[in-house]
C-alpha cells in the first residue's frame, strides 16, 4: 500500500511509530500495536502501528521524528507500507509470560529489539513485569548482562587490571565515589568510573560531580582521561554503555519494580572492562535493603554473577540508616567531598566508608593494609592532587576552591522545638524535601544537616538548613515540611513508632538508583 507522509513533529522515545487511519490499517490487516514494514528509496524499517479514526485521513501515514530521520523523508512523499509479523522477540517475551526460562539467543534478540525501538511500551512493560513476577535466575541474569554489553559501547583500555566500585544506592548524601576514585587512582590502580544522575533521589553521583567538572564525556574522551590520570568520574548517560538499561529504567520507574538490578549494574561494569569490583550495599531502614540477611543474599548473587562474567566481586554491606556525611544536594555534596579531600573537614562516617571501600579494592589488587594505604593517600594530599588532575582532564578548573561552588541563597534553618536526642533521620523524607527545593536540577539546592543520629540537641538548636536557588521552590519545600518529618527528636525511652487508626495507604518508598 502506498501512503502519503505527514510529519507529526513528535518523538516516540527512540521507537519507530507510525499512525494510520483505521480503514487503511484494516485493509493492511494490521491492528493497533501491530507492525508494518515501511520503505522509501532503498531504505526500510519496521514500525509499530497506532490507529486513529479522524486525525490521519485514509491514504496518509503519520510518522514520528525517528522514522523521518531514519528514512530521510520529506513531507508529502509516498512510501510503501506492508504488513509484517510481530518481531520474533515478542514470541520469546510470551514464553517468559508462560513462566519459561529464556536462553541466551532469546534474551539477546529481546534486548536488541528493545535498543532498536522495535518493541512497544506495552511489550517492554510486560517483559519487565514478567521478569519481576516469575523472577530471573542467575543464568538469565548472566545472559541479560552479556546481551546488554553486546548491544552497547565498550571501553577499551590497554591495562591488565581495571577496578571499579558501585553502590546499589538508596542513601542520601552518599558522595563516597568522589573520594574513592582519586584515592584508588593515586595508589596507581585504574578506575574508569561511570555514574548515573538521580532518578528518584536528591542527587546522583553524576549530579554531584558536575559542580566540579564536566561529566558528559563520550566514550573516547573518557578513555583519554583514564589513560592520562588512571581515573575519571563521568555520566553514564552519554557513554551508551548497556543502553537497553536506560529503556528498562523508564518502564520500571512508574511501576516501582527493579527486576534488572543485577544485570543492569554488572553489564555496565563489564562494558568498562572491570576485573575487580566492590559493590556497596547500604543496609537498614529507609534504604533499599532493610536487613543484613537480605544484603548477604544479594551479595552472594553479585559475587556469583561476577564470577560468570569474569569479574572478581566483593561486597561491602554498609550502614545506611541516615545520610552519609552532612550534605545532600549536588553543590553541597561537592563542597563536602572537596573539603574532605583538602583536609579541611573531618566528616568521620564519609571518610570511614570511602577508605573501607578503597581499602578492599586495594587489597583485592594484591596490596597489603588497604585501609591504611587509603587513609594515607587521603591525609597526604595525594588524593586531592589526583582529583584536581582528573578535574583538569575532564575539562574543569583544577584550582577550584570551595567558595567557587555556589549554593542556593534562599535558605531556611529548622530548629528543634524540644531538647533530646536525634532518634532517627528519614532518608526518603530528606530526598523528597531536597527535590522540592529544586535538587538535583538546581545544583545549589539541597539540605545541610547540623545533627545526626545519636547527637544531643537543645531546644531551639539548629537541626538542618534547606537551600534553594529560587524562593518559590524554597516555599514548596517548606510546604512539604508541614507534611513530612525529616528527623525525630526525643528521649531514648520512647517506644511508640506510629499509630494506625484506619486502613493505611501503603506508599512504599521506591529507589531506582543503582
**CA 314 – CA 316 distance, rounded (Å):** 7
Site for a second copy in 244-263 (CB under 8 A): 250-251, 253-257
Cα 386 to the center of its chain, rounded Å = 25
| Contact in structure between 138 and 304 (CB atoms under 8 Å) | yes
**CA 386 – CA 181 distance, rounded (Å):** 9
E strand spans, 168-229 = 191-195
* Binding residues with a second copy: total (CB under 8 A): 56
Residue 88 lies near a second copy (rule: CB under 8 A): yes
CB of 221 to a second copy, least distance (A): 21
Please say which residue, 72 or 417, places its beta carbon nearer to a second copy: 72
Helices H / strands E in the chain, number of each: 18, 18
CB of 441 to a second copy, least distance (A): 4
Please say which residue, 31 or 411, places its beta carbon nearer to a second copy: 31
Site for a second copy in 448-507 (CB under 8 A): 505-507
Residue 37 lies near a second copy (rule: CB under 8 A): no
How many CA within 13 A on the CB side of residue 3? 27
Please say which residue, 189 or 198, places its beta carbon nearer to a second copy: 198
Among 32, 153, 475, 509, binds a second copy (CB under 8 A): 32
Please say which residue, 1 or 342, places its beta carbon nearer to a second copy: 1
Pairing of strands 410-415, 462-468: antiparallel
Any residues with CB less than 8 A from the CB of 462 and at least 6 apart, and which?
Answer: 413, 414, 415, 416, 450, 451
**CA 67 – CA 487 distance, rounded (Å):** 51
Q: Which stretch binds a second copy (CB under 8 A): 52-60, 139-147, 447-455, 457-465?
A: 52-60
**CA 474 – CA 237 distance, rounded (Å):** 29
Q: How is residue 473 written as a grid cell? A: 521552590
Q: Which stretch binds a second copy (CB under 8 A): 7-15, 71-79, 411-419, 456-464?
A: 7-15
| Contact in structure between 390 and 185 (CB atoms under 8 Å) | yes
Return the CA Rg of the chain: 25
Binding mask 121-160 for a second copy (x = CB under 8 A): xxxxxx-xxx-xxx--------------------------
Site for a second copy in 194-233 (CB under 8 A): 199
CB of 259 to a second copy, least distance (A): 10
CB of 29 to a second copy, least distance (A): 6
**CA 145 – CA 510 distance, rounded (Å):** 23
| Contact in structure between 174 and 282 (CB atoms under 8 Å) | yes
**CA 505 – CA 21 distance, rounded (Å):** 43
CB of 237 to a second copy, least distance (A): 12
Among 62, 192, 320, 329, binds a second copy (CB under 8 A): 62
Residue that has been written with the C-alpha cell 512497544 in this structure: 120
Please say which residue, 130 or 271, places its beta carbon nearer to a second copy: 130
Residue 17 lies near a second copy (rule: CB under 8 A): no
**CA 388 – CA 182 distance, rounded (Å):** 9
Among 3, 5, 18, 34, binds a second copy (CB under 8 A): 34
Active site residues: 258
Residue 112 lies near a second copy (rule: CB under 8 A): no
Residue that has been written with the C-alpha cell 513530612 in this structure: 484
Residue 379 lies near a second copy (rule: CB under 8 A): no
Site for a second copy in 417-446 (CB under 8 A): 435-436, 441
Q: How many CB atoms lie within 10 A of CB 479?
A: 11
Residue 294 lies near a second copy (rule: CB under 8 A): no
Among 97, 138, 453, 481, binds a second copy (CB under 8 A): 97
Backbone angles phi, psi at 78, to 5 degrees: -100, 135
Q: Where does this chain bind a second copy (CB under 8 A)?
A: 8-11, 13, 19, 26-27, 29, 31-34, 50, 52, 54-55, 62, 65, 86, 88, 90-91, 93-95, 97, 99, 120-126, 128-130, 132-134, 199, 250-251, 253-257, 435-436, 441, 505-508
Amino acid at each position: 500500500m502506498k501512503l502519503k507522509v505527514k510529519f507529526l513533529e513528535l518523538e516516540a522515545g527512540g521507537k519507530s511509530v507510525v499512525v494510520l487511519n483505521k480503514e487503511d490499517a484494516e485493509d493492511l490487516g494490521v491492528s493497533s500495536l501491530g507492525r508494518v514494514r515501511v520503505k522509501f528509496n532503498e531504505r526500510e524499517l519496521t514500525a509499530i502501528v497506532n490507529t486513529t479514526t479522524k486525525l490521519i485521513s485514509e491514504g496518509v501515514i503519520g510518522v514520528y521524528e525517528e522514522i523521518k530521520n531514519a528514512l530521510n523523508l520529506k513531507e508529502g512523499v509516498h512510501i510503501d507500507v506492508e504488513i509484517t509479523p510481530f518481531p520474533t522477540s515478542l514470541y520469546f517475551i510470551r514464553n517468559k509470560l508462560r513462566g519459561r526460562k529464556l536462553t541466551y539467543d532469546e534474551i539477546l534478540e529481546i534486548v536488541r529489539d528493545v535498543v532498536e525501538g522495535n518493541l512497544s511500551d506495552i511489550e517492554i512493560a510486560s517483559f519487565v513485569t514478567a521478569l519481576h513476577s516469575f523472577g530471573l535466575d542467575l543464568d538469565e541474569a548472566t545472559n541479560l548482562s552479556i546481551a546488554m554489553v553486546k548491544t552497547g559501547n565498550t571501553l577499551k583500555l590497554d591495562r591488565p587490571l581495571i577496578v571499579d566500585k558501585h553502590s546499589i544506592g538508596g542513601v542520601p548524601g552518599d558522595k563516597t565515589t568522589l573520594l574513592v576514585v582519586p584515592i584508588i587512582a593515586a595508589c596507581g590502580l585504574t578506575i574508569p568510573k561511570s555514574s548515573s544522575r538521580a532518578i528518584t533521589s536528591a542527587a546522583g553521583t553524576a549530579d554531584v560531580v558536575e559542580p566540579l567538572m564536566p561529566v558528559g564525556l563520550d566514550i573516547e574522551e573518557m578513555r583519554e582521561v583514564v589513560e592520562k590520570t588512571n581515573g575519571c568520574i563521568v555520566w553514564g548517560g552519554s557513554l551508551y554503555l548497556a543502553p537497553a538499561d536506560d529503556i528498562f529504567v523508564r518502564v520500571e520507574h512508574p511501576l516501582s519494580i527493579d527486576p534488572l538490578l543485577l544485570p543492569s549494574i554488572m553489564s555496565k561494569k563489564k562494558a568498562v572492562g572491570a576485573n575487580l569490583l566492590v559493590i556497596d550495599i547500604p543496609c537498614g531502614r529507609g534504604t533499599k535493603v532493610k536487613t543484613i540477611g537480605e544484603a548477604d543474599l544479594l551479595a552472594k548473587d553479585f559475587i556469583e554473577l561476577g564470577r560468570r562474567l569474569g569479574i572478581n566481586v566483593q561486597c561491602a554491606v554498609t550502614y545506611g540508616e541516615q545520610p552519609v556525611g552532612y550534605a545532600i544536594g549536588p553543590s553541597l555534596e561537592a563542597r563536602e567531598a572537596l573539603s574532605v579531600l583538602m583536609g579541611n573537614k573531618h566528616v568521620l562516617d564519609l571518610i570511614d566508608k570511602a577508605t573501607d571501600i578503597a581499602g578492599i579494592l586495594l587489597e583485592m589488587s594484591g596490596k597489603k593494609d588497604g585501609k591504611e594505604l587509603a587513609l594515607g593517600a587521603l591525609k597526604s594530599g595525594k588524593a586531592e592532587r589526583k582529583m584536581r588532575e582528573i578535574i583538569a582532564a575532564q575539562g574543569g578548573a583544577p584550582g577550584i576552591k570551595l567558595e567557587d561552588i555556589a549554593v542556593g541563597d534562599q535558605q531556611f534553618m529548622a530548629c528543634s522545638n524540644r531538647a533530646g536526642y536525634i532518634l532517627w533521620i528519614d532518608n526518603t523524607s530528606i530526598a523528597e524535601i531536597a527535590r522540592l527545593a529544586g535538587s538535583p536540577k538546581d545544583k545549589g539546592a539541597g539540605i545541610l544537616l547540623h545533627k545526626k543520629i545519636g547527637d544531643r540537641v537543645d531546644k531551639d538548636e539548629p537541626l538542618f538548613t534547606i537551600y534553594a536557588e529560587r524562593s518559590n521552590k524554597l516555599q514548596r519545600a517548606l510546604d512539604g515540611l508541614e507534611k513530612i518529618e525529616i528527623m525525630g527528636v526525643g528521649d531514648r525511652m520512647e517506644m511508640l513508632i506510629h499509630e494506625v487508626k484506619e486502613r493505611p495507604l501503603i506508599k512504599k518508598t521506591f529507589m531506582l538508583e543503582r
